[in-house]
Structure 1
Amino acid sequence: MNRSIEAMWKEGFINEPNLAAPKINALYNLKSQNIVDKLQSMFALNIKALIIGSIIMMIMMSLIGAPFLGLYICCLLIPLVIIAKKELAKSTSLSKGQSSYDYLLNFDHWLKSSINTYAKYYRLFYPLFFIGMVTQALVSKAGGKIISLIMQKFPTDIVLLGIPYYLIIIITMLLLLVIKYSDALYRLDLNIVYGRQFKKLDELIADMKTLKS
């Protein structure tokens, strides 16, 4: 195995220009279409999941006696659905009258731009979601009982809206952490769902770039 893979590839191109090159081009054209179709299908499925999830959330929250929290979460999810539909429409409108390599580059450019668009909203979504969950916990009967037990164990005269000051400080610190790491939380969630496909896309672009050069 003294010869490198790159050398064998080049030799193949030289010896069989009319046979190997067209087959390789066809193979990468197929791979390009498959990866794009796969990602677009996943994005479309995500939109449906958001819509169905918001409805289920509303029903569940109503059943456990927190209809306003369910409505609040639905209101937070609606902008995500709108953003998702707009971004998906942008991806499907990309011109396919170009080489697979150029199309993949344009798709990758759109993907990065789309991720940045989502990230901007998630920086707002996560803190608002946290505030909604904490508010519901504090005003619920169970939350009231927990606060009473905490105040019995750690009594204080500094109370705001029935909440001890130290609990407000803890909640505020947690909120600041959520605000600080909202972007990181979104990227983590994104990587869990789409990480494999994004990696395949990057590898395919890299391979095509190498062959092109």
Structure 2
Amino acid sequence: MKKTEHFMKFEKVSDEGIISGYITKFGEIDSYGTCTVSGCFKSAMKRLADGETIPVLWQHDVHEPIGKFLSMKDDDAGCYAVIQLDLNVERAREAFSLAKNRIISGLSIGGMINRTEWNEKDQVLMMTDIDLYETSVVTFPACDTARIDDCRSDTLNIREMEHAFRKSGMFSQNDSKKLARYFCEILKSRSEDSETETHETKAEIRSDSHDNDANALNDLLNALKNFQI
């Protein structure tokens, strides 16, 4: 058994600190001359389903955790993961900013190989069972097949909402903060309800989500004109 690292790229990021993409592509030979296969992360998927946290690190540094897995799923191409970065952590904010600005885009898995099979035809060692310890945000990926393709915002952030409430002239600073927090919770709940949708459907929704949220905020402001908090 040995520790392995496999490098991939982010596909999507959002203003809520969520990134998503393939943490590995099945059958693609990595810098160690090995490849992953479908089903190699079954144990990690079960742990995640059972409520265990799979951490996300910065550059494989165990002293710098920056987030956690929200979900992971195999498809025909590879293992697709949705990751939440903890934006209360300074390094996570830095990693998120670098990802949004397309300065850094690598994802790398770290774990223990439990079982392998030798592919004589392709002359490659296939990793069929991996105990996934963590996934890291890294600078230099070894594979160049999965990239960030969407850096749009999923939702308005809480500061934008608070500013809009204050600018309307209808609410105090304290009331604006309360309303902004409340509205963010509604949007977050709506986002979680749609988590079961396919990646393609999510991408289509995200393309218009910021405009839709802005319109919803304007509608809310108009509805509150005749009310006092």
In the superposition, the TM-score normalised over structure 1's length comes to: 0.26
In the superposition, the TM-score normalised over structure 2's length comes to: 0.25
The structure richer in strand per residue is: 2
The structure richer in helix per residue is: 1
Rg (Cα) greater in structure: 1
